[in-house]
Amino acid sequence: MSTSNEVKTPTRSEPESGAASNFLREIVERDRAQGKHGGRVVTRFPPEPNGYPHIGHAKSICLNFGLARDFGGVCHLRMDDTNPETEEMEYVEAIQRDIKWLGFDWGDKLFFASDYYERLYEFAEQLIREGKAYVCSLSEEEFRTQYRGTVTEPGKPSPYRNRTVDENLDLLRRMRAGEFPDGAHVLRAKIDMSNPNMKMRDWPLVRIRHASHYRAGNKWCIYPLYDFAHCLSDLIEGITHSICTLEFESNRELYDWIVEAVGAKDPNNRPHQYEFARLNLSYTMMSKRKLLQLVETKTVAGWDDPRMPTLSGMRRRGYTPEAIRELCDRVGVAKNNSIVDLALLEHLLREDLDKKSPRVMGVLKPLRVVIESIEKGKVEEFDAPLWPAEMDRAGSRKLPFSREIFIERDDFMENPPKDYHRLAPGREVRLRHAYVIKCERVVKNEAGEITEIVCTHDPASRGEAAASGKRVKGTIHWVSAAHAFECEVRLYDRLFLAEAPGSLEDTAKELNPLSLQTLRAKLEPSLAASKAGDRVQFERLGFFFADPVDSKDGAPIFNRTVGLKDSWAKAAAKTAESTPTKEPKAEAKKEKAPAKEAEKKELSAEAKALVAAHDLAPADAALLTEEPALRALFDSALSAGAPA
Ligand code: ATP
Ligand code: MG
């Protein structure tokens, strides 16, 4: 029986310091060498407090706080709270808790965009006075359909574009005073209606929204939009490197335009935006909006349900910050989107838990075994080590052993194949830390179900195999029936069956119906003293964590954090009839599998049209026609002026 978790570590090609180079580090190094920003490095993590942070946010947290740490800079935590309808204090608190748990600290650099509303308003008036912004009274729909233009056609000026400064100022002040309903007017940047980048076509900056804000209350009824608030918050805080995900690439031109328009003329001394590829994990959905749906529909027990990809859910399930940080390090920082295999995170987690989890025994689906060669009422005690010998760590517990024990139902087979090394009629198996037993007969009820196994033991086989000299092929775990501690165990599995969940609007259709199984397990008695937050490995079963929320003193509840092996890879390999790959890929898949599939297929008419129109590789065109989300991204990138 293997007591340790025998997975190999994918070797790292980078230095151990966490300072693996990437294009963002190179930019920071270059800027410092050139004396840009006076050599300062100030980054920020800018969450919108409209949900709990998820594993994707961890990537951005590690990146921003990591850069600041490694270059002697600081990282601000800024709540990007400019949307009154969805933001809440509960989320602000969750964000702070999760960042600390991940091991990062913002010190006294906690900021709120909502604290800048007055200054942002002043900037808005300044832009109007300098002829760089105007109040537009077209509805959003009118502007979009009649004025904005398309990717291939320029837009045309709003009829309100040439309002005088006085008229604009008057309207903006009355917007602020609450004289107009939502949507009646909007403040627009006055840039260029024929710019190939749609964001440069008089993008809106400030809108009317009669809604109460979780911090500002009812003080405001106009709110800055993302493109206005974000860059100016960066400017106000003296951010040097403003790092965001790739979807914001086309916003960069507007970012630069706005900071320059309010007077930050020196490109060596104002914030710059850089984009990197977001973290995507297979079988994991990372949209706060959709995660909120799961919470609101009570599909899960809350934001911290151990199946959720939120940091609070993962923490409650038993994930460690070390494993998550290691994942973020390993996948690196890229410029192109990819999907990382969830198996990599699980592998890193096992590696970390292996060091942190003492080995104990628990039986999840018990089957009673009576060892008739042991006297009734006799109790023997084994002093069993908590750690595998090769770890060379102290610690043991007492394991009582008696005539009646429980073994795992799966560890017995009435008609086993030849190579079955566990218990079967006439066969022998070793009970971990105890004796070798032999199955003499099976007891069944009227329905023909096995209710009990009757065995004998070999008194000469006491202790471990090596000591007793008795060799049998299999070793199984067990618990003494009279001493067993009955306990609730929650077996968690992936929340989604879909490899890329979230593509359907109705995410319920993508759920794994077996993502949670609750059992009454029989555990070894030492576990009765477990406290919330304790970690153990149930030998042969997996890593478990005493639920920090529902466990009570004397009544722990154990969550399965992760199994000992990647059962998903095995199942997948079985269906594919190929040998299972033991090790998850250490690197992000560079390309999604469908791209390769697509190469083989005949191109659809639509794909051919894309090839012809944009000179795309056939496989890329096929992929675009098959994945609506990707197609939407492609189209919006095109409309933003990016090359195909
Ligand atoms: P979601 O799409 O899940 O709602 P978001 O981007 O709207 O996420 P924010 O609160 O705005 O959520 O995110 C805060 C920061 O985290 C942003 O800088 C964002 O770019 C970054 N971020 C969000 N998701 C990911 C991800 N999957 N990988 C890396 N960074 C991410
Ligand atoms: Mg966002």
Task: Give the chain's mean pLDDT.
Answer: 89
Pairwise CA distance, residues 72 & 58, whole Å: 21
pLDDT at 587: 38
Q: Closest ligand 1 atom to the C-alpha of 278?
A: 28
Q: Closest ligand 1 atom to the C-alpha of 50?
A: 10
Distance separating the N- and C-terminal Cα atoms of the chain: 56
Q: What is the SS3 assignment for 568?
A: helix
- Structural Rg of the chain based on CA atoms: 31
Q: Does domain 362-476 have CATH number 3.40.50.150?
A: no
Q: Whose CA is nearest to atom 10 of ligand 1?
A: 47
Chain length of the chain: 644
Residue-range domain boundaries for the chain: 127-225, 362-476, 590-639
324 CA from centroid of ligand 2 (Å): 21
Least confident of 70-84, 222-236, 606-620: 606-620
pLDDT digits (tens, 9 = 90+) for 427-486: 999 999 999 999 999 999 999 999 999 999 999 998 766 566 678 989 999 999 999 999
531 CA from centroid of ligand 2 (Å): 38
Q: Whose CA is nearest to atom 29 of ligand 1?
A: 278
Alpha helices per DSSP H over 488-614: 567-576, 593-600, 605-614
Structural contact between residues 502 and 285, judged by C-beta atoms closer than 8 angstroms? yes
Q: What is the SS3 assignment for 562?
A: strand
- 149 Cβ closer than 6 Å to some ligand 1 atom: no
233 CA from centroid of ligand 2 (Å): 15
Q: What is the SS3 assignment for 616?
A: coil
Q: Which residue numbers are catalytic?
A: 48, 278, 288
Q: Which ligand is nearest to the CA of 54?
A: 1
pLDDT digits (tens, 9 = 90+) for 158-215: 999 999 999 999 999 999 999 999 999 999 999 999 999 999 999 999 999 999 999 9
Pairwise CA distance, residues 461 & 463, whole Å: 6
Domains 127-225 and 362-476 share a fold: no
Pairwise CA distance, residues 128 & 121, whole Å: 11
Q: Which ligand is nearest to the CA of 49?
A: 1
Helix %, strand %, coil % for the chain, to 5?
Answer: 35, 20, 40
Q: Closest ligand 1 atom to the C-alpha of 280?
A: 27
Which is nearest to 167 in space by CA: 134, 191, 209? 134
pLDDT digits (tens, 9 = 90+) for 116-168: 999 999 999 999 999 999 999 999 999 999 999 999 999 999 999 999 999 99
pLDDT for 16 beyond 50: no
pLDDT at 14: 40
632: burial class by Cβ within 10 Å (0-12, 13-18, 19+)?
A: exposed
pLDDT for 381 beyond 80: yes
HEC string of 117-159 equals HHHHHHHHHHHHHCCCEEEECCCHHHHHHHHCCCCCCCCCCCC
What secondary structure does DSSP assign to 205-225, as a single string?
EEEE----BTTTBTS-SEEE-
Which is nearest to 285 in space by CA: 137, 9, 495? 495
Bridge partners of residue 491, in order along the sequence: 517
Structural contact between residues 38 and 199, judged by C-beta atoms closer than 8 angstroms? no
Specify the pTM: 0.86
Structural contact between residues 360 and 301, judged by C-beta atoms closer than 8 angstroms? no
57, 75, 251, 281: residue to mutate for ligand 1 pocket, most atoms within 8 A of CB: 57
Q: 51: pLDDT confidence band, cut at 50, 70 and 90?
A: very high
Pairwise CA distance, residues 124 & 134, whole Å: 9
- Considering the domain delimited by 127-225, tell me its CATH architecture: Alpha-Beta Complex (3.90)
Report the share of the chain in percent with pLDDT over 70.
Answer: 85
Residue 524 tokens read as: 């070894």
Structural contact between residues 347 and 586, judged by C-beta atoms closer than 8 angstroms? no
Q: Whose CA is nearest to atom 14 of ligand 1?
A: 47
Query: Which amino acid type is present at position 485?
Result: F
Pairwise CA distance, residues 608 & 602, whole Å: 10
245, 274, 290, 328: residue to mutate for ligand 1 pocket, most atoms within 8 A of CB: 245
- 286 Cβ closer than 6 Å to some ligand 1 atom: yes
pLDDT digits (tens, 9 = 90+) for 566-590: 766 656 665 554 333 334 444 333 3
386 CA from centroid of ligand 2 (Å): 46
Residue 169 tokens read as: 């100022």
Angle ∠(118,96,38) on CA atoms, nearest 5: 60
User: Torsions phi, psi of 44, nearest 5?
Assistant: -150, 150
50, 55, 60, 311: residue to mutate for ligand 1 pocket, most atoms within 8 A of CB: 60
pLDDT for 46 beyond 50: yes
**Summary count for the chain: helices (H), strands (E):** 18, 25
HEC string of 415-481 equals CCCCCCCCECCCCEEEECCCCEEEEEEEEECCCCCEEEEEEEEEHHHCCCHHHHCCCCCCEECEEEH
pLDDT at 463: 77
Instruction: Characterize the bridge pairing of strands 380-385 and 396-401.
Output: antiparallel
Pairwise CA distance, residues 622 & 600, whole Å: 10
Instruction: Characterize the bridge pairing of strands 204-208 and 186-189.
Output: antiparallel
Instruction: Enumerate residues 6+ apart whose C-beta is below 8 A from 57.
Output: 45, 47, 98, 311
595: burial class by Cβ within 10 Å (0-12, 13-18, 19+)?
A: middle
Q: What is the SS3 assignment for 33?
A: helix
Query: Which amino acid type is present at position 83?
Result: N
Instruction: Enumerate residues 6+ apart whose C-beta is below 8 A from 446.
Output: none
pLDDT at 412: 97
- Mean pLDDT of all residues in 19-25: 85
- Mean pLDDT of all residues in 329-337: 91
Instruction: Enumerate residues 6+ apart whose C-beta is below 8 A from 527.
Output: 360, 362, 485, 487, 536, 556
